Amino acid sequence: MTPSEVFSVAGMITMPMWLLMILLPKWKVTRFLIDFKVIPLLLSLIYALYIFLAIQIGGWMDFGSLGSVMTLFTEENAVLAGWVHYLAFDLLIGMWMLDQNKKLGIHQILMAPCLFATFMFGPVGFLLFFIIKTIKKQ
Domain ranges of the chain: 3-99
Express each pLDDT in 18-33 by its tens digit: 999 999 999 999 999 9
Buried b (16+ CB within 10 A) or exposed e, 6-31: bbeebeebbeebbebbbeebeeeebb
pLDDT in tens, 75-129: 899 899 999 999 999 999 999 999 999 999 999 999 999 999 999 999 999 999 9
CB 24 within 8 Å of CB 68: no
Task: Supply the pTM of this predicted model.
Answer: 0.93
Convert the pLDDT of each residue in 54-76 to its tens digit: 888 766 778 789 988 888 888 89
